[in-house]
Amino acid sequence: MIEGGRLRRVLLGTSAAVVLTAGLAGVAPTAVAVDAQSQQWYLDAMRAEDIWKTATGSGIKVAVIDTGVNPNTPSLKGKVLKGMDNAEVKGDETDDYTGHGTTMAEIIVGSGAGGGIKGLAPDAKVIPYRVSDTELQNEQKVNPYDMEEAIKAAADGDAQIINVSFASEYYSSYIRDAVKYARAKGKLLFAGVGNSAAKGNKPQYPAAFPEAIAVAASDETGHAAKFSQHGDFVDLSAPGSAIPGWCNEKFKSYCVTDGTSNATAIASASAALIWSVHPDWTGNQVLRAMLESASRDWESGTVSNALGYGIVRPNANINRGIGKPGDPNINPLTNEKVGGKSATSGTAGTSGASGKPGATTEPGASTAPGSSQAPEAKPSADGVVAGSDKSADSGSPLGLVIGGVAVVAVVAVAAFLVVRRRRTA
């Protein structure tokens, strides 16, 4: 257990493998960003255009705890609210030192202006909280408690959703307390499970904390991405492979990336869409609707170690009514009372302990949305799952595949960074 001190973190989606533009020095982002949207295969797979006829994320705020968010990219102008610099290094929360946090923000709320990334919830807003990754920790003196302070600040702030595309293989009770605090305040905290499935597959935090919503990555075929870590802590999954993101902090070009960072941002955006349609729902109800409407090819009420309850499918809930809200005060993952707070409410419900499949129940058991405990399904780590709303309500496996869209092959995320204590998801 690590108590305080420097928990070195790694970003979970910065494997810039293929530049989408020429990337010439001095070229404005608007000029080089033209190829980004053509690589956003998941928007078609998730039927984003149909979703946007009903929901765009309006009225919802997402805290992005990351490397900072540059509010001046064409896709983010007018979408970034005042945040906080928790890293306490040169600059502030708008100074993104890698480009990772800005990518997450664009995946969530980007307007697509100038050919940039189009966010899945384009009318939501983001609130940046800057924390340090391993490289910044090695280069400068940073606030060693930045992660827990950022989570608590976001929990006390206006954001309904907290996106953490960071991870560490080391447990910290301070950070867990912060995550529990956010959950008790009615927030939904999504965190990436990590990209080192082939390198030990150790649980990553905060995703593996029972109070977080752990997000795994799926690929273009609807399989679990090979790099995505797996275990009984996985709650949901979302597209994470071959997705465009800023190559670096210069914001001159986009690159194709892999990572559960991407999946986490898409899951956060999905929650924002559902919550914007049902602002009177609590976080528990939004999460329950996400779990019940997720795409899967195994028995409803059981859980995959690779993909959790399935691949997020907001259109199924928003336009087809799949996934019921249920009890506003009960965590659908545990059936325990915690965090009953709606997007329009100023008061939280009674807080209490929460957990995840395997955390507060017997090993191998999980609590299904709206049901009693159900045995865990054990599909293979790369089992095919339907992610397209073209599938029937039964969830027949059609996969997240878009015909005619060429997806550039990329290097597996697990290889793009040296394994460090804190990584991006």
Look up residue 83 and give its two tokens.
């945040």
DSSP 170-209: S--HHHHHHHHHHHHTT-EEEEE--S-TTTT----BTTTS
CA–CA separation, 236 and 31 (whole Å)? 36
Which of 138, 308, 335 has the alpha carbon at shortest distance from 207? 308
Which residues are designated catalytic?
A: 66, 100, 261
CA dihedral 294, 105, 14, 117 (to 10 degrees): 90
Question: Residue type at 55?
Answer: A
What residues pair up with 62 in beta bridges, in sequence order?
126, 161
Tell me how far apart the alpha carbons of residues 142 and 20 are, in angstroms, rounded to a whole number. 33
- State the Cα angle at 318 between 371 and 81, rounded to 5°: 105
* C-alpha closest to that of 151 among 122, 172, 137: 172
Instruction: Please state, in angstroms and rounded to a whole number, the distance separating the CA atoms of residues 52 and 111.
Output: 12
